Structure 1
């Protein structure tokens, strides 16, 4: 191997190494960190059940989402009522959770 080829190979290897490191650090977005939730699976399922029963799911998934303000307001009020009622604790218990240890998150 001649000196010229050796220098060219070394130069190419160093450029490849530097560009690879630069590309690895080129991601401007930080990766999300998953923190453990204080809400149990039973609480999530109970909340989902109430979300559907209150009519809020139907309103938020309808084509008139931004226009039917009265229906959305009524559904939100019904959701809040059900979420803060003993019915929520009953659902948590039905889904296998401990109704005495209900987290406040999600209200």
Structure 2
């Protein structure tokens, strides 16, 4: 290698290194930090059971999703009714949680 090639290679390597550092420091998309959830595992399991029992899960996973609006509206109403009923608090207790304030406020 000639001296000219060595200098050119060193110059290219240093420019590439500087450009890489500049790009890494210029990234506005940092990883988000999610705060801990305020919902207990028991509340999630109770909500999932109500979601399934109301029929909302079946409607949203069917091939007619987006077309069967009447069935979806009925399932959403049933879900809302079950979610605000004492049944939700009973399920939370069954799954090992304490009754959440939202369940008491929803009555």
TM-score by length of 2: 0.80
Moved over 6 A (4+): none
CA distance in 2, matches of 1:36, 1:103: 18
Alignment correspondent of 1:40: 40
Q: Which has the higher mean CA deviation after the structures are superposed, 80-89 or 31-40?
A: 31-40
The structure whose RCO (Cα within 8 Å, separation 6+) is larger is 1
Give the number of equivalent residue pairs.
104
CA distance in 2, matches of 1:46, 1:59: 19
**Maintained 8 Å contact 1:40/1:97:** yes
**Maintained 8 Å contact 1:89/1:102:** no
For the aligned residues, what is the CA RMSD? 2.6
Residues 1-107 of structure 1: matches in 2 within 5 Å? 4=4, 7-25=7-25, 27=27, 29-99=29-99, 101-103=100-102
CA distance in 2, matches of 1:67, 1:28: 40
- With over 3 angstroms needed to count, the CA separation of the structure-2 counterparts of 1:31 and 1:45, relative to structure 1, is same
Deviation at 1:9, TM superposition (A): 4.3
**Maintained 8 Å contact 1:59/1:65:** yes
5+ residue gaps, structure 2, are: none
5+ residue gaps, structure 1, are: none
